[in-house]
Amino acid sequence: APGFVFVCNHSTEAECLNRRLFAAPHGAFKDIERGVARTTKIFLMNVDSRSLLGPFYGAKPPAKNIVKEAFKGRFPAQVLLTNSKPDPNVLTMDSKRLSWKPRIGPLTSEQMAEIRVLYEEQRPAPPPMAKRAGRRPKASCPMWCSAT
């Protein structure tokens, strides 16, 4: 899959990021195992704030209970991340605008395209100084979101 979403809430987001570990219930393990490879763009959706953080990348293949005590043992299907911070792109999503409901699972190329659109819509315009100095403004979308 070109992308994969893990879901958290306000009470689990900090643990996900501090441990560099995304996790899900046992029943989601097969989907995670099939959908997360080293090149998969992994996102964390906070269902309370409706923010999407990412992309992250897995350091190793998904496994069960990488950190058994994490999340009080409630989420044994786990992926250890290579990075504890995403690209500096935090997207606030309006789930009414998406064709998919935020849930644990793989993202299709079409869903990745929707993430790109949301990112481009909220990206600030380049500073006026860059235009005056004759410098070319940076691309509107970072490299990660242009490849699906």
pLDDT higher than 80, residue 4: yes
Average pLDDT over residues 126-139: 56
Closest by CA position to 59, among listed 78, 75, 74, 79 = 79
- So what's the pLDDT on residue 13? 93
pTM of the model: 0.79
139 has a pLDDT exceeding 50 = no
The per-residue DSSP string of the chain comes to --EEEEEE-HHHHHHHHHHTEEEE-GGGHHHHHHH--TT-EEEEEETTTTEEEEEE-BSS--EE-TTTTGGGGT--EEEEBS-SS--S-EEE--GGGSSS---SEEE-HHHHHHHHHHHHHHSPPPPHHHHHTTPPPPPSS-HHHH--
Question: Is 12 or 53 the better-scoring residue by pLDDT?
Answer: 12
- Residue with tokens 């080293």, as numbered in its chain: 38
How far is the C-alpha of 79 from the C-alpha of 25, rounded, in Å? Answer: 12
Q: What is the pLDDT of residues 24-35, one digit of tens each?
A: 999 999 999 999
Give tens-digit pLDDT for 77-123: 999 998 756 655 666 666 667 788 778 999 999 999 988 888 777 76
Query: Between 140 and 81, where is the model more confident?
Result: 81
Q: What percent of the chain has pLDDT over 70?
A: 73
pLDDT value at residue 99: 80
- pLDDT over threshold 80, residue 18: yes
